[in-house]
């Protein structure tokens, strides 16, 4: 019997989708050996209200730590709390999301526990005593099967890969106090600047419309935004050529040195398909490319391509998508 | 200001990788290697901080076979002052093993800052910086894209999904560098000549016990060949049909 800890990521007091993905993956691991899933929920007073949702997705117990010092992400106090929870819970594995927050938090926890860690995994399995993960390496060009020895193992899950599955459990709430004073840490998040609210993030959007240098100028990104808007559930991404020129912020950049995404549908608009860009999006389920050069490498990974001028094709596509989605 | 920068020698990613006969490592024949881009930005950040302060020392540290000395020389030719090579047969896959060796070397170095890249493209793991920070019990800020240091304190910006964080921290600190912080300088001819005479110390790495093991490597299946639906706006109706009936995403 192996119990699994799932870190439930929040932002501004709300659970992020990756929190449900983490609990879902933990449930599957725990069920393999008849173990329990314990979730760890950290935030400002009031965050305990979210425990219910974690129970819906399979948490047997939700450890909740509420403190004013957790209103923003508090790396040191959260890592100390998570490491202490892992020690007292004796978990076989502690799961995190490989989000911006999880990328920061998970290795700190592993460092404190002197534990083995693999991040950005696309599969995780517990058979007997062996914890095995699949981890894309070399910018996704090679898939490694990796075993993590010793207990606990720290695992970071690739976002948008473990689909949340409802599987209600008791979700008994246990309150825990911070292990170190969140108000007295060496590293402090002063503020979190959120972009325009209500916009879907690249990590969570089922559809991504990404634009490249083929759009010619910053103001033409309107074409991409309009197409994203027509889909209704799309986020906007960009290539490095675009972020380097300041047409879009670096946080929109998809690729080797930007974001890794794998949406249901990826629409590449005026993007050549350089290897560094492909590294960030090649695992998308369906890829559409619009490019005027029929030799562009993006067509090698695209399921559907249209050879043509973005200024002609994209407005027509936007209108057609609007039409197709009428009534949604 | 005394700054250490941990730099990794990584394979060029613009190739088709071949798996070696053991099935668990890569065939390195014909593969070119260079400093990890994130680490080059970290070296650049250290040089700029030293230049701004008007004094200080930039030490680069790299763990691996003798081949990493070439990577160290590159950082020296950019302007770093000296290099430390931690010898190992090869670069382990395991982040904890590397972090332990780096921490053992850096522990008593009296560094104000220790810089890392946010991620190495070959391991694609992104754990070595914050793990080393924990082993050293130092403040740590990861994936920074802006940095300001004044009066023993620092402020940095981190990119989140659809948001940014402004983070304050005290020195000494470990920082990991994201893209956007700066553009790395190219070594000048003068720099390359000077680097040949800069000190490069080589000593055995005190690797930690590895916790993770690569059992198998595979190449992902190629994406099934796609199709060109057509040319120009006239192809849009057919694309919509395919998205609805074949891909079922609309
Ligand atoms: C270390 C390193 C890391 C990198 N990391 C990243 C990364 O994370 N993400 C990333 O994206 N890139 C990255 N790059 C850059 C990458 O190599 C490419 O330069 C970049 O992706 C190209 O962007 P692009 O496709 O927008 O531009 P281009 O390559 O210039 O392509 C523009 C495309 O638009 C087409 N086009 C032009 N006009 C029209 C029109 N009117 N209608 C239709 N099509 C048109 C052209 O045919 C062309 O194919 C990295 C590079 C390096 C060296
Ligand atoms: N062998 C190494 N020698 C020196 N620094 C390293 C080594 N491996 C990793 N690092 C540092 O750790 C960062 C993150 O690597 P990784 O955890 O492999 O993604 C790199 O960008 C380097 O700064």
A76 to each of A106, A179, A302, B224, how far by Cα in Å?
Answer: 11, 10, 43, 45
- A241-249 long-range CB contacts below 8 Å, 24 or more apart? A241/A212, A241/A213, A242/A211, A242/A212, A242/A213, A242/A215, A245/A213, A245/A218, A246/A218, A247/A215, A247/A217, A247/A218, A247/A221, A248/A211, A248/A218, A248/A221, A249/A195
Average pLDDT, chain A: 95
Q: State the distance between the two ends of chain A, measured CA to CA, in whole angstroms.
A: 46
- pLDDT for residue A327: 74
pLDDT confidence tier of residue A198, bands split at 50, 70 and 90: low
For B117, name the nearest residue in chain A, comparing CA atoms only: A257
Tell me which of B128, B135, B143 to substitute to probe ligand 2's pocket, judged by most ligand atoms within 8 Å of the beta carbon: B128
**pLDDT for A196 beyond 80:** no
Q: What is the pLDDT of residues A117-140, one digit of tens each?
A: 999 999 999 988 899 999 999 999
- Whether the CB of B206 sits within 6 Å of ligand 2: no
- Span A303-323, mean pLDDT? 98
For atom 30 of ligand 1, the residue with the nearest CA is A213
Identify the weakest region by mean pLDDT among A231-240, A317-326, B220-229.
B220-229
- pLDDT for residue B224: 84
| CA B155 / ligand 2 centre spacing (Å) | 23
| CA A271 / ligand 1 centre spacing (Å) | 5
pLDDT confidence tier of residue B159, bands split at 50, 70 and 90: confident
Chain A contact set for B249 (CB, 8 A): 206-207, 264-265, 285-286
- Global confidence as pTM: 0.93
Partner residue opposite A100 with nearest CB, options B125, B160, B211: B160
**pLDDT for A197 beyond 60:** no
Residues of chain A above pLDDT 70, percent: 99
- Whether the CB of B172 sits within 6 Å of ligand 2: no
- Do B17 and A141 lie within an 8 Å CB cutoff? yes
**pLDDT for B27 beyond 60:** yes
- Do B235 and A313 lie within an 8 Å CB cutoff? yes
- Ligand 1 binding pocket, CB closer than 6 Å: A 212-214, 239-242, 253-258, 270-272, 274, 276-277, 280, 291-293, 296, 309-311; B 37
Q: Which two tokens stand for residue A198?
A: 């209500």
Q: What is the pLDDT of residues B131-151, one digit of tens each?
A: 999 999 999 999 999 999 998
**DSSP of B31-80:** --EEE-HHHHHHHHHHHHHHHHHT--EEEEEEEESTTHHHHHHHHHHHT-
For B154, name the nearest residue in chain A, comparing CA atoms only: A187
- pLDDT for residue A250: 86
Residues of chain B above pLDDT 90, percent: 93
Q: Are B84 and B201 in contact (CB under 8 A)?
A: yes
**pLDDT for B79 beyond 60:** yes
**DSSP of A130-188:** EEEEEEEEGGGTEEEEEEE-SSSEEEEEPTTSS---------EEEE---SS-GGG-SEE
């Amino acid at each position: 019997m192996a119990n699994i800890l799932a870190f439930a990521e929040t932002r501004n007091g709300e659970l992020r989708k990756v929190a449900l993905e983490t609990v879902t993956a933990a449930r599957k691991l725990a069920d393999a050996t008849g173990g329990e899933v314990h979730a760890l929920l950290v935030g400002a007073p009031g965050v305990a209200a979210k425990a219910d949702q974690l129970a819906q997705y399979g948490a047997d117990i939700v450890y909740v730590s509420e403190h004013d010092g957790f209103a923003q992400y508090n790396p040191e106090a959260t890592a100390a709390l998570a490491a202490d929870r892992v020690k007292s819970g004796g978990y076989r594995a502690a799961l995190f999301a490989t989000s911006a927050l999880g990328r920061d938090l998970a290795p700190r926890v592993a460092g404190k526990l002197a534990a083995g860690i693999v991040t950005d995994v696309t599969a995780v399995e517990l058979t007997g005593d062996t914890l095995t993960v699949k981890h894309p390496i070399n910018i996704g060009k090679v898939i490694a099967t990796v075993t993590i020895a010793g207990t606990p193992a720290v695992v970071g899950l690739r976002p948008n890969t473990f689909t949340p599955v409802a599987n209600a459990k008791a979700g008994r709430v246990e309150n825990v106090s911070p292990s170190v004073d969140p108000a007295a840490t060496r590293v402090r998040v002063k503020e979190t600047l959120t972009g325009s609210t209500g916009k879907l993030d690249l990590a969570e959007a089922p559809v991504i419309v990404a634009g490249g240098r083929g759009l010619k100028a910053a103001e033409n990104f309107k074409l991409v935004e309009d197409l994203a808007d027509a889909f209704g559930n799309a986020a906007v991404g960009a290539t490095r050529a675009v972020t380097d020129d300041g047409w879009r912020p670096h946080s929109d950049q998809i690729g080797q040195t930007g974001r890794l995404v794998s949406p249901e549908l990826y629409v590449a608009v005026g993007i050549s398909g350089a290897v560094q860009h492909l590294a960030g999006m090649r695992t998308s389920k369906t890829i559409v490319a619009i490019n005027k050069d029929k030799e562009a490498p993006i067509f090698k990974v695209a399921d559907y391509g249209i050879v043509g001028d973005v200024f002609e094709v994209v407005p027509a596509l936007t209108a057609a998508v609007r039409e197709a989605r009428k009534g949604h | 200001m005394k700054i250490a920068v941990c730099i990794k020698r990584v394979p060029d990613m613009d190739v088709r990788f071949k798996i070696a006969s053991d099935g668990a490592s890569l065939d390195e024949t014909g593969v070119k290697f260079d400093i990890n881009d994130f680490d080059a930005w970290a070296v650049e950040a250290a040089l700029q901080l030293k230049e701004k302060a008007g004094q200080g020392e930039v030490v680069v540290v790299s763990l691996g076979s003798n081949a990493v000395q070439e990577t160290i020389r590159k950082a020296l030719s950019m302007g770093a002052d000296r290099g430390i090579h931690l010898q190992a047969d090869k670069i382990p896959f395991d982040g904890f093993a590397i972090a332990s060796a780096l921490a053992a070397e850096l522990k008593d170095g009296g560094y104000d800052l220790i810089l890392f890249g946010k991620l190495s493209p070959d391991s694609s793991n992104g754990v070595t910086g914050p793990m080393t920070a924990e082993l050293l019990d130092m403040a740590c800020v990861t994936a920074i894209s802006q940095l300001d240091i004044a009066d023993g304190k620092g402020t940095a910006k981190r990119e989140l999904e659809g948001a940014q964080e402004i983070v304050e921290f005290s020195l000494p600190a470990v920082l990991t560098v994201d893209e956007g912080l700066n553009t790395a300088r190219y070594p000048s001819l003068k720099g390359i000549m000077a680097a040949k005479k800069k000190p490069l110390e080589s000593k055995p790495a005190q690797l930690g016990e590895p916790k993770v093991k690569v059992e198998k490597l595979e190449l992902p299946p190629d994406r099934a060949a796609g199709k060109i639906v057509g040319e120009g706006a006239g192809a849009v109706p057919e694309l919509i049909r395919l998205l609805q009936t074949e891909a079922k995403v609309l």
